Amino acid sequence: MARLWVLSGVVFVSFSPIYVRLAALPPTAAGFLRAAYALPFLLALWAWQRRGDHRSSRVRLQAVLAGVFLGIDLALWHRAIELIGAGLATVLGNTQVIFVGLFAWWTYRERPRRAALAAVPMVLLGAVLISGLGLGDAYGRDPALGVIFGVLTGITYAVFLVIFRAAGRDLGAPAGPMLDATLGAALGLGVIGLGEGGLDLLVTWPAHGWMLALAVSSQVVGWQLIAAALPRLPALETSVSLLLQPVLATVWGRLIFDERLSSLQGLGIALVLGGVGWVSWRGAARPAPAPEVAKGAAPCAT
């Protein structure tokens, strides 16, 4: 059953960039709306689970702070989708696996494995190839700029994950941390929108319908299914399953928007996904050394 949950969740989430393209809204407004529409549903889920939510106020504020970086990530990712399409933008966003390992090294002194360090040049080469190298057959309105936004998406998403991880690992109420992070994303995107001159939130159809569909299917249903399945499956299996998201997003982009990638961009996708998959399999970092446990005492569970 857990495998069905995670695969169903990945399918739901893989349609996220498709909804963004169909809505055709400004990047910041699209991010704000998907977060705002998701909040009532997450609040209802959290109210149902709240007896299992034992997090402190400090931990909840950390989750909100993580959400601010998630909001920045969404604004960058939506911009990348405009420039290089749903598939390529989603593939580049998944470079977060590499950056999480590097940030964990810097923040938690978790030394990256050789596999992670070896994958960095592979992923960077893949990103360069996805840019099309200035050739005329590269897909995208501005492939080079789209790659920059795509890589920045991976970096900001990695920051979100590192802070979100520090917000605690209490799985008693999985909707709670996502509710707080989504609230932080809405706040962050609101501030970004004001800095850009204001958010155009005039309700239009079908644009807002696509954003509502995205909020419910991906932000709520998809990630709740994935969150419920993660503790029940081996880490390798879940990592491989999550790699289906950029693959499916590329397929949907080809079928729905006729995103015809050049051969160089196809090779770039293979290198990025290969590097990310290698790190997922081998692990990004070695855990920080655990404190010594007195002889005869049981280690403390975390």
Total number of domains constituting the chain: 1
242: confidence class by pLDDT, cuts 50, 70, 90: confident
pTM over 0.75: yes
Condensed to tens digits (0 to 9), the pLDDT of residues 181-195 reads 999 999 999 999 999
Residue 260 lies inside a defined structural domain of this protein: yes
Question: Which of 12-26, 70-84, 124-138, 229-243 is predicted with the least confidence, judged by mean pLDDT?
Answer: 229-243
Residue 93 lies inside a defined structural domain of this protein: yes
- Above 50 in pLDDT, residue 294? no
Residue 288 lies inside a defined structural domain of this protein: no
Condensed to tens digits (0 to 9), the pLDDT of residues 55-112 reads 889 989 999 999 999 999 999 999 999 999 999 999 999 998 888 877 777 776 667 6
Instruction: From residue 73, give the alpha-carbon distance in Å to each of 161, 244, 267.
Output: 11, 20, 25
Residues of the domain holding 21: 2-282
Residue 117 lies inside a defined structural domain of this protein: yes
